[in-house]
Amino acid sequence: MKLPIPVAVCGALGRMGQRVVDAVFHHERLELVGAAERPDCPDIGQDAGFLAGLGAIDVPVMGDFAKAMARAKVYIDFTTPEAVMANLRVAQTMGLAAVIGTTGLDSAQQDFLAQAARRIPIVWSPNMSLGVNLMFKLAQLMAKSLGPDFDIEIIEAHHRMKKDAPSGTALRLHEVVSLARGLDQSSMVSGRNGLVGARRDDEIGVLAVRGGDIVGDHTVLFAGPGERLELVHRASSRDTFAAGAVRAAVWIFDKKPGLYSLSDVLGL
């Protein structure tokens, strides 16, 4: 019988963090050994399981990343771009494997992520849903197969508290369909207003909707002459993303340094 993989969770008391704590705790191949939060969190010292609704599990929430990671081999990070960078600096020195689900990383932060991946294995995905990562593959296939006669529009919707727009998933969808069409970043049009003129042939619209408690909806619309296709994914629970994160944690445990995606985890 294989020994369990020791895992710690960063941002353990956030909306996603609590679902990841629950998913790690209940996964047969993983052992929850650490929980990290920002140093000024009022619940530092409290039991992470109790705060996540699991009851006491003897894993205290810590405000020091290194101390929270002391027993871990893999950590899962759903925090902020700034916290991700700070955590990675320490993770490299500790030789930890990382699963990162944080979105909104700018180009400099993505460059740092790639540099860190030369020393440790990292899975980074703008969306940890298994279905969404299959959607990336299908969107690429549809964009290539349907060709330029079909206009492409991407619509995403999230809860009113989401800070970045468009979502990381929408940006990734734009990337994959653009590459399939031989286009670049300049093809993206984020919203339209006023007399914008006729749609360009090389234009891909990306619209962000914010409201209520929407977990995450993404639609890729292919509009052609006389017909329309829609590729749609709707997340109804954050457990969807937690499930992808724990699957990535199991997969990356024994991998060599490198920057991986959830598509690598799924073998797509």
| Those residues with Cβ within 8 angstroms of residue 85's Cβ, 6 or more apart along the chain or in another chain | 109, 112
Check if 255 is active-site: no
- Distance from the Cα of residue 97 to its chain's centroid: 16
Distance CA 119, CA 97 (A): 10
Judged on CB neighbours under 10 Å (0-12, 13-18, 19+), 161 is exposed
Distance CA 123, CA 23 (A): 17
Distance CA 129, CA 81 (A): 19
Indicate which residue of 158, 174, 218, 233 is catalytic.
158
Indicate which residue of 26, 137, 144, 162 is catalytic.
162
CB 181 within 8 A of CB 148: yes
Check if 144 is active-site: no
Q: Tokens 């969404």 identify what position? A: 132
Q: Which residues are catalytically annotated?
A: 158, 162
